Structures are given as C-alpha cells and as structure tokens.
Structure 1
C-alpha cells in the first residue's frame, strides 16, 4: 500500500518545482523530503526523480502517480466533508486567506454573521496575495481563499480548486477634492501622478493597461498594494488612484471624488476551495455568511 503522506510530498514537488520550496511550505528539511521520496521509490519499485543540475525533475512514472494522487486527495476531502456534515453543529477551525479590500469590507461583517449562527466555529484569517494564497490552499495551509479577476485579464482555472462567484465590484478612478488633478475624465489625467499596485501583479498590470487604452502612459509615482495608503495619497493631493467600490462599504468617500472609468469595468470576486471540500459545513457556512454580507451591502 502506497503511503498517502509520501504521495502528497511528490505532488507538492510537482507543484513547487524544488525540494527546498516543498520543505519551506511544509516545514520540513530538504533532506527529510528527499528521504521520504526515496522510500516512495522503494515502495513503487520505479525511479521517480531524475537529477538535473543541482535540482531534480519528475519522471513520467512520477507524473502518473501525481495524477492519481490528485484523485485520491479529492476523495479524502469528500470523505472529510461527509463526516463533518453528519455532525449536528458546525465546529472546528476554518483557515481563510484574503486580500485587503475584501478583508476591510466583507470579512468583518461575515464574521459577525458566523458568530451568531455558528459560535463553535473558529475562523483564522490571513492577508495574502492571490497567487500565494492559492498555492497555500493546495498545500493545505488554508481552507478557503478569496480571489479576484480583472476585466480583460482572465485567470486560468487552477486544477484542484473549485471556485464560486461572490460578487462583481466596480472599479473607479479617485481624484483629490481640490487641485489640478480634480478631473472628471480619465484622458485629462495624462501627466498626473498615479498610485498603483506594483506592475508585477495583476491589479497593477490592469491599471496601467486602462491608462494606455485611454491614450497615455501613466506616471506611476507610487507603487503599493495597500489601498489605505492609496486613499491617503489621493486625500492629500499627491496622487490619483483606481479604487474598488467595495472599499467604501460602511463609509462615504467624502475625502475624495470618484468617477466612472471608461466602460465601467468590474472585477470578479470569488471564493476558492480544494476540489471536494465545498461540502464541508464550515466552508458552506463561511460562503453563506459572505453571500449574506454582499446581499445586505447591495
């Protein structure tokens, strides 16, 4: 009988690429990972890893095992979900990863809903960028991940992840209430100082593309994914920003002026869980609480 733990290590190596990356993610030493995979080779009787330079790569036989491991782990998720569903109360710990705007606008209200409906459920919340969060989801570091997708930049569906739409959130441009950058059309902001997310992540790439479509290259004076800093820079007249409507939940944007972007683009917000885990009562309860919060907001 093949060892599930060792199969999971092989799958993680396939996902992460190096023994060192697997070791960091799972809190093992690289030598311990290597020893476990050597034992898996002994169990299967085939070569699973080939040395390439200083690293290793999976053989075709190893990839066969990885494909079956995905199915096995999904079935185990389903089994755990069915066992949990047989209980009368929703309890335990749910580990959630999210990005800033959802954490500010939706998650606190969802936690209040959960506290009233399921007081025995403990939620652990971590702020993570989407790519890191989804890697953590597949590595079993998280149980639910909040994701986002920007118009014109569709993200490929990740194998092993089940997504569920949450809402669509309009993006607008925000300008100071006074000064030379209080303009009501994007094209008039050519030459204005902008604050955007870094260019290496999707929100930053999308924002720069919007400006180029309006006919100018943005002067990105400040690069930060911290939306509260972006708001503050606009408030003080130092920058212009593209901000989501979700940011203004429970407060009025009286310190900045918001205008529609061309075409009124909306980003897609969704939740992701490992395939088979969507029937977990804790996951269902969290998703229902988020939906209730979105409905109340609308």
Structure 2
C-alpha cells in the first residue's frame, strides 16, 4: 500500500518544482522531503526522480503517479467534507485568496455574517491576483479563491477546480469632474491624449483596458501604474487621470467623478473557485453563501444611493 503522505510530497514537488520549495511550504527540511521520496521510490519499485543540475525532476512514472495522487487526495478531502457536514457546527479554518475590489466591497460584510452565524469558524484572507491565487489553491495553500475574468480574455479552467459564479460586474469609463480634464469628452475614442492610470501591464484589468483603448483607435498614455483601485479612483477624482473601473468599487465609495457607460456595456465575471474535494465542505459553502449575501446587500445599497 502506497503511503498517502509521501504521495502528497511527490505531488507538491510536481507543483512547486524544487525540494526546497516543498520543504518551505510544508515546514520540513529538504533532506526530510528527499528521504520520504526515496522511501516512496522503494515502495513503488520504480525511479521517481532524476538529477538535473543541482535540482531534481520527476520521471515519466512519477508523473503518472502524481495523477493518481491528485485523485486520492481529492477523495480524502471529500471524506473530510462529508464528516464536517455531519456536525452541527461549522468550525475549523478556511483560507481565502482575493483581489482588492472584492476585499473592499464584499469581504467585510461577509465576515460580519460569518462571525454572527458561525463564530467557531476562523477565516484567513490574503490578497493575491487570480493567477497566483489559483496556483495557491491547487497547492493547498488556500481553500477558496475569488477570481475575475474580463471580456475577450477567457481563462482556462484548471483541472480539479469547482467554479461558482458570483456576479457580472459592469466596467465604465471614469472621468474627472474638476480641473483641466473635466473638459474631456465622454467618449473613449476621443481620449488618445489623456493621461491614464491603470493596473500593472501584465494584470488582467490592464490587458483588458489597453485592448479596449486600442480597439478605440489609440495607444493609452499610461502615466501611473498601480493595482490599488482606491488610488486609481482618487487620481481620477482629483483631476490627474482617467481610468476604466468596475462598478463594484462604488459600493463603498462615492467619489466626485463622472462614470460613463462604454459601448456594448462590458462586464467582468466574478467567481469563486474551490478544489473539487472541498467544494462541499460546510466552511466553503458558508463562505460562498456569505459572499453572495454581501453582494446582494451591496447592490441594494448602490441602487438606493
């Protein structure tokens, strides 16, 4: 019988790439990880690792074994979820990775609901961009990811991930009301010479925004790069830049700026992702429910504003 713990170490090596990275993630020494994988080789009777320079890589049989390890670990997670569901109280720790607009608009209200309904549940949150977050999810570093998908930039669904739609969030042109930029026309195609604030170039929001500007016939003059939507909004409000920003941001802010609809009314898709084995866990279900409730409350408040 193969040892599940050693299978997990092999799986972690496949995902993280080095013995040192596996050791850091699981609080072992590299020599301890190497020793356990040597024992797994003895159990299987096949060579699982081969030296490459100062590191190692998985052999073809090892990659076959990783596929089975994924299935075994998913099945064990389902068993843990079923056991947790049989209890009367939602307990334990759920680890969440999110990006900033959701953290600002939805997470505080979701945490308030969870504290009232499930006081024994501990929620840990880290801010990560979606690509990093899904890598962390599959590496078992987090249990739930809040992700986003922009028009024209579809994301490939990772194997082993259970996705659930959260919202479709409108995207608009944000223009200043005051200062020299207040005279800018409310037409994206006329903003070729305007100063822009955008997310860093490799990010999904920036890739979509640049593509939208190019489709309108110009290359945006990006003066300021920041992943902080609060700073982006403030720079527009104070007359220093224009931007393309999501509606969800305005559930917490009431800035003095102009929001202009874009042709076609583009939206970004917001969703949550969990590993298939943990999607049925009461803690994950409770958090997803709290986020949906927070979204409805935020939209109700926005419609009344």
User: Considering the TM-score relative to the shorter chain, is it more than 0.5?
Assistant: yes
Preserved CA contact (<8 Å) 2:236 2:242 = yes
Q: Residue 144 of structure 2 corresponds to which residue in structure 1?
A: 144
1:197 pairs with one of 191, 196, 199: 199
Give, in whole Å, the separation in 2 of the partners of 1:46 and 1:231: 58
Residue 24 of structure 1 deviates from its aligned partner by 3.7
Preserved CA contact (<8 Å) 2:104 2:252 = no
Where 2:181 maps in the other structure, the secondary structure is coil
Where 2:57 maps in the other structure, the secondary structure is strand
Q: Residue 17 of structure 1 corresponds to which residue in structure 2?
A: 17
Q: Which moved more, 1:230-239 or 1:21-30?
A: 21-30
Give, in whole Å, the separation in 2 of the partners of 1:226 and 1:295: 24
Q: Does 1:239 align with 2:235?
A: no
Give, in whole Å, the separation in 2 of the partners of 1:70 and 1:234: 47
Give, in whole Å, the separation in 1 of the partners of 2:163 and 2:30: 32
Cα distance change of structure 1 residues 240 and 30 upon mapping to structure 2, 3 Å threshold: farther
Q: Does 1:215 align with 2:217?
A: yes
Q: Residue 289 of structure 2 corresponds to which residue in structure 1?
A: 288
1:1-298 superposed matches below 5 A? 1-182=1-182, 183-253=185-255, 255-298=256-299
RMSD: 1.6
Give, in whole Å, the separation in 2 of the partners of 1:70 and 1:168: 32
Aligned pair count reads 297
Cα distance change of structure 1 residues 233 and 28 upon mapping to structure 2, 3 Å threshold: farther
TM-score (normalizing by structure 2): 0.92
Residue 95 of structure 1 deviates from its aligned partner by 1.3
Preserved CA contact (<8 Å) 2:171 2:245 = yes
Residue 178 of structure 1 deviates from its aligned partner by 2.2
Where 1:181 maps in the other structure, the secondary structure is helix
TM-score (normalizing by structure 1): 0.94
Q: Deviations over 1:187-238 (max 9, x none)?
A: 1111111111111222211111111011000111111111111112112211
Preserved CA contact (<8 Å) 1:74 1:275 = yes
Residue 284 of structure 1 deviates from its aligned partner by 0.7
Where in structure 2 are there 5+ consecutive unaligned residues? 300-305
